[in-house]
């Protein structure tokens, strides 16, 4: 890891001048530092001081931009900023968005700036803390706030998400079958899971904004004097319109408990408390069998993505040990798919 | 059917990664753990040899009532599953194959499942 991702002096100077315009007051960049993580997007810590105007004083911020290795499959920075703004407006615990810059002459690409939030997001670290019923209740309630955003309430702001699917479960099954068909090897167990999902698909209900990667690892938890609290929901790049229980199932899925299987709410606390927090805040029931359906979907979706990632390595598109090893996570996911879909056949 | 990359291919990418690794990098421990994991999977595959492949072929033969290469038989099984005409015994067959793969890719996971963890 070199310094390639750090902001250059020239970039910092241009950034300060651009911020001075945005803040309508002389703005100084006091410090910048590339934060760890993020192969597709880069996060930089940014400390600024604004001499007056509507935002006077010192601000501890995060600047997010595409990394050099960015791929075109996830949402653009402008789209992610729109999602962050919509979530913030709906009262979701997210870093407050500040400004978006689409002028590529400043940093060579679009970027946005948000407030810096304290906390830990690494799943492997978080599951070492004692299980916490209150924390997962709070997470459930916060997820309910994301789901208050609907195609109607969002107006035109989230138009880039496209037309909401009429039947999210069946649309997902069709999409994952197409993904499997594009891979050279047959995968009968994942196929078995997809058949089960097609057969047990729920009657389509309401469609809401789903985060679609809502799990331990993408949630920032801050240890405060009165206990751990959710401090930010990160990585909105896969958000889209879907059945609200898709996020509930993804969060609860065994594959996202970082090995602490007995704490079914993301390895952080008990399932029932998470569900109670979600249903109380949303007023929406989450029947166990409906949630279980989306947990099967979670394992199938992750298995399909893992096979795609492994194929990027095998096909020679991108030689990577990390991608190669992803193939060998698939048997774990398949074991769970088979355990949840045991049937007459 | 074992997932690709194979154990041999895992060794190749693990060796290339090790040769290029910067021991002072902030993620050096993570990279070292990945290399160890890749080598362990490859070792278990080498120990297992063709036993798993033969067992899977026999299982597919019994299930589908036809002989052939494992890959072709799996392709046929995929077609039947998608058509909704998977033969009785498909789930049990898939469980048996999965246990064999898990024993190579993550035996600790399999042990935890068997312990009812």
Averaged pLDDT for residues A228-243 = 95
User: Is pLDDT above 50 for A66?
Assistant: yes
Whether the pLDDT of residue A73 is over 90: the answer is: no
- Are A221 and A135 a contacting pair, CB within 8 Å? yes
Predicted-assembly ipTM surpassing the 0.95 threshold? yes
Give the residue extent of every domain in chain A. 9-115, 123-340
pLDDT for B115 equals 94
| Matching CATH number, A9-115, of 3.30.460.80, 3.40.605.10, 3.30.200.20, 3.30.70.100 | 3.30.200.20
Assess contact for A139 and A145: CB atoms under 8 A: no
pLDDT at A60: 97
CB B3 within 8 A of CB B104: no
Query: Do residues A295 and A253 lie in contact, with contact meaning Cβ atoms separated by under 8 Å?
Result: yes
A325 and B88 within 8 Å at the Cβ level: the answer is: no
Measured at the alpha carbon of residue A153, what is the angle toward residues A152 and A157, in degrees to the nearest 5? 95
The CA distance from A172 to A161, in Å, is 15
The dihedral region occupied by B49, where left means phi > 0, alpha psi between -120 and 50, and beta the remainder, is left
How distant is the Cα of B47 from the closest Cα of chain A, in angstroms?
17
Weakest mean pLDDT among A69-83, A240-254, A279-293, B26-40: A69-83
* Per-residue pLDDT, A89: 97
Binary contact (A192, B86; C-beta < 8 A): yes
Q: CB neighbours of B110 closer than 8 A, spacing ≥ 6?
A: A335, B99, B102, B103
Segments making up each domain of chain B, as ranges: 7-48, 51-114
pLDDT, tens digit (0-9, with 9 covering 90-100), for A238-268: 999 999 999 999 999 999 999 999 999 999 9
User: Residue A35: what pLDDT?
Assistant: 85
Which of A267, A252, A342, A263 lies closest to A297 in space, CA to CA? A252
Q: How confident is the model at residue A72 (pLDDT cuts 50, 70, 90)?
A: low
Contacts for A49 with CB less than 8 Å, ≥ 6 apart? A27, A28, A30, A57, A58, A59
B90: which chain A residues are within 8 Å (Cβ-Cβ)? Answer: 188, 192, 345
Q: Contact B34/A325, CB-based, under 8 Å?
A: yes
Name which of A41-45, A312-316, B109-113 the model is least confident about. A41-45
- Contact residues on chain B for A342, CB-CB shorter than 8 A: 91
Q: Is the pTM of this model over 0.90?
A: yes
pLDDT for residue A345 is more than 50:
no
Contacts of residue B97, defined as CB under 8 A and 6 or more positions apart, other chains included, come to A189, B1, B56, B59
What is the 8-class DSSP label of residue B49? T
What is the least distance, in Å, from the CA of B54 to any CA of chain A? Answer: 17
Q: Do A236 and A84 touch, CB atoms closer than 8 A? A: yes
CA dist A224 and A216 (Å) reads 18
For the segment B92-96, the average pLDDT, to the nearest whole number, is 97
pLDDT of residue B40: 97
Query: In percent, how much of chain A has pLDDT > 70?
Result: 94
What's the whole-number average pLDDT of chain B?
95
Q: Tally A–B CB contacts below 8 A.
A: 124
Instruction: Please indicate whether, in this complex, the C-beta atoms of A195 and B86 are within 8 angstroms of each other.
Output: yes
Sign for the pseudo-dihedral over CA of A136, A283, A88, A216: positive
State the average pLDDT for chain A: 93
* Reported confidence tier of residue A6, pLDDT bands at 50, 70, 90: confident
Contact A194 B82 (CB under 8 A): yes
Strands, E, within chain A: which ranges?
27-34, 41-50, 57-66, 97-101, 111-115, 208-210, 219-224, 227-233, 240-242
Residue B55's alpha-carbon distances to A22, B5, B40, B95, B101, in angstroms, are: 67, 20, 22, 13, 12
CA dist list (Å): B98 to A198, A315, B45, B52, B110: 22, 24, 14, 10, 10
Nearest CA-CA distance, residue B111 and chain A, Å: 12
Q: How confident is the model at residue A237 (pLDDT cuts 50, 70, 90)?
A: confident
Q: Which of A38-47, A101-110, A239-248 has the lowest mean pLDDT?
A: A38-47
For chain A, the straight-line distance linking the first and the last C-alpha, in angstroms and rounded, comes to 51
- Rounded CA-CA distance B100/B53 in Å is 9
Tally of residues, chain A: 345
Chain A residues with CB within 8 Å of chain B CB: 1, 36, 177, 185-189, 191-192, 194-195, 199, 261, 307, 310-311, 313-314, 319-322, 324-325, 327-332, 334-335, 338-339, 341-345
Secondary structure of A192-206 in the HEC alphabet? Answer: HHHHHHHHCCCCCCC
Least confident range from A88-92, A338-342, B49-53: namely B49-53
- Over residues A173-201, the pLDDT tens digits come to 999 999 999 999 999 999 999 999 999 99
Nearest CA in chain B to A188: B78
Cα–Cα distance, A173 to A196 (Å, whole number): 10
**Tens of pLDDT, residues A10-26:** 999 999 999 999 999 99
H helices then E strands: how many in chain A? 12, 9
pLDDT at A4 over 80: no
Contact A1 B101 (CB under 8 A): no
Which of A191, A320, A325 faces B37 most closely, judged by CB atoms? A325
| Third-level CATH fold of A123-340 | Aminoglycoside 3'-phosphotransferase; Chain: A, domain 2 (3.90.1200)
pLDDT at B27: 83
Please say if the pLDDT value at position A3 is more than 50: no
The better pLDDT of the pair A133, A37 is held by: A133
Among A63-67, A103-107, A198-202, A299-303, which is the least confidently predicted range? Answer: A63-67
pLDDT band, residue A39 (cuts 50/70/90) = low
């Amino acid at each position: 890891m070199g310094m390639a991702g750090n902001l250059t002096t020239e970039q910092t100077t241009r950034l300060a001048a651009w911020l001075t315009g945005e803040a309508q007051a002389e703005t100084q960049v006091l410090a910048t530092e590339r934060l760890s993580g993020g192969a597709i997007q880069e996060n930089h810590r940014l400390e600024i001081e604004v001499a007056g105007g509507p935002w006077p004083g010192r601000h501890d911020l995060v600047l997010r931009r595409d990394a050099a290795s960015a791929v075109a499959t996830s949402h653009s920075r402008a789209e992610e900023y729109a999602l962050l703004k919509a979530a913030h407006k709906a009262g979701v615990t997210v870093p407050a968005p500040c400004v978006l810059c689409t002028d590529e002459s400043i940093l060579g690409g679009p970027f946005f700036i948000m407030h810096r939030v304290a906390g830990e997001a690494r799943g492997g670290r978080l599951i070492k803390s004692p299980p916490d019923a209150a924390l997962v209740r709070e997470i459930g309630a916060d997820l309910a706030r994301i789901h208050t955003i609907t195609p109607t309430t969002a107006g035109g702001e989230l138009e880039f998400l496209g037309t909401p699917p009429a039947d999210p479960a069946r649309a997902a099954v069709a999409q994952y079958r197409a993904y499997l068909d594009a891979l050279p090897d047959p995968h009968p167990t994942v196929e078995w899971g997809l058949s089960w999902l097609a057969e047990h698909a729920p009657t389509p209900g309401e469609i809401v904004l789903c985060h679609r990667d809502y799990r331990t690892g993408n949630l920032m938890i801050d240890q405060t004097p009165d206990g751990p609290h959710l401090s930010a929901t990160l990585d909105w790049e896969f958000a889209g319109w879907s059945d609200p229980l898709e996020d509930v199932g993804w969060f609860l899925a065994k594959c996202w408990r970082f090995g602490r299987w007995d704490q079914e709410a993301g390895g952080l606390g008990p399932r029932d408390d998470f569900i109670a927090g979600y249903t109380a805040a949303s007023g929406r029931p989450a029947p166990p069998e409906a949630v279980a359906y989306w947990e099967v979907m979670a394992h199938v979706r992750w298995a399909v993505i893992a096979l795609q990632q492994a194929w990027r390595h095998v096909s020679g598109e991108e030689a990577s040990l990390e991608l190669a090893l992803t193939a060998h996570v698939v048997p774990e996911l398949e074991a769970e798919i088979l355990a949840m879909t045991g049937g007459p056949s | 059917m074992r997932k690709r990359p194979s154990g041999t291919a895992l060794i190749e990418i693990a060796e290339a990664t090790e040769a290029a690794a910067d021991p002072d990098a902030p993620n050096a421990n993570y990279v070292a753990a990945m290399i160890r994991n890749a080598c362990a999977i490859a070792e278990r595959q080498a120990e297992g040899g063709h036993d798993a492949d033969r067992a899977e072929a026999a299982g597919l033969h019994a299930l589908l009532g036809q002989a052939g290469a494992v890959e072709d038989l799996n392709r046929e099984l995929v077609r039947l599953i998608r058509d909704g005409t998977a033969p009785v015994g498909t789930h049990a067959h898939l469980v048996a194959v999965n246990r064999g793969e898990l024993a190579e890719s993550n035996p600790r996971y399999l042990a935890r499942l068997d312990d009812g963890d």
